[in-house]
Chain A
Amino acid sequence: KNEVEQSPQNLTAQEGEFITINCSYSVGISALHWLQQHPGGGIVSLFMLSSGKKKHGRLIATINIQEKHSSLHITASHPRDSAVYICAVRSAAGGTSYGKLTFGQGTILTVHP
């Protein structure tokens, strides 16, 4: 079993729909990152979380440390949101916050107009 599991692997939506991507992890962490990668493009960091909830525009990220689970929500989805969304966790190693980053396999989101 991977340390970081994302679901779903593929997601197709119509423009305007509310979208949720889930990330579950099995190790203790110091931080969780949500990343976005467009086809042929670089990676952009969307959120870095260690607790609670963050919002940026139409994007919302939540994390439940006790349940080892995070969700990324996109409200009023748009075709330009089509991309791969990747969850990454930084393990809490040896009492420091300099653990390794482990990535989920990514969720391919396609939003149709």
Chain B
Amino acid sequence: KAGVTQTPRYLIKTRGQQVTLSCSPISGHRSVSWYQQTPGQGLQFLFEYFSETQRNKGNFPGRFSGRQFSNSRSEMNVSTLELGDSALYLCASSKQGTGELFFGEGSRLTVL
């Protein structure tokens, strides 16, 4: 059974640009959540989607947005990138909202 797939794995952007990251959950999992991990702040919750609906949102500015498609794949977008957005972005899927989390390998974003 394929795991959670995140693309791209690595990317470099410059300040002011925007970025879109993709997450394909495990087959049959309808919940996808996104997290930001930085050395200073650790892991922080971004948002969670279930059946194309955003169910929860963390304390991030509106530059961070996401969506989920009918096949449960999810994307997150960060607009007007700042240096502080450099981080590892992880997504996780689960069968239900409170089920066991299965994490992808992450997308490492560097903003120059």
Binding site for B on A (CB under 8 A): 30-31, 33, 35, 41-45, 48, 86, 88, 90, 93, 97-106
Contact = CB atoms under 8 A, between A and B. Distances in A.
Interface of A is mostly: strand
Contacts of A31: 98
Contact of A30 (B48, B98, B106): B98
A45 B98 contact: no
Nearest to B106: A42
Interface of B: 33, 35, 42-45, 48, 50, 55-56, 58, 90, 92, 97-106
A106 B42 contact: yes
A104 B45 CA distance: 12
Nearest to B6: A42
B58 A97 contact: no
Nearest to A88: B43
Given A42-B103, A45-B103, A98-B48, A86 B43 contact: yes
A27 to B, nearest CB: 13
Given A42-B106, A86-B43, A105-B42, A98 B98 contact: yes
A90 B96 CA distance: 13
Contact of B101 (A45, A105, A106): A45
Contact of A98 (B43, B55, B100, B101): B55
Contacts of A103: 42-45
A41 B33 CA distance: 18
A70 to B, nearest CB: 16
A33 B101 contact: yes
A44 B101 CA distance: 8
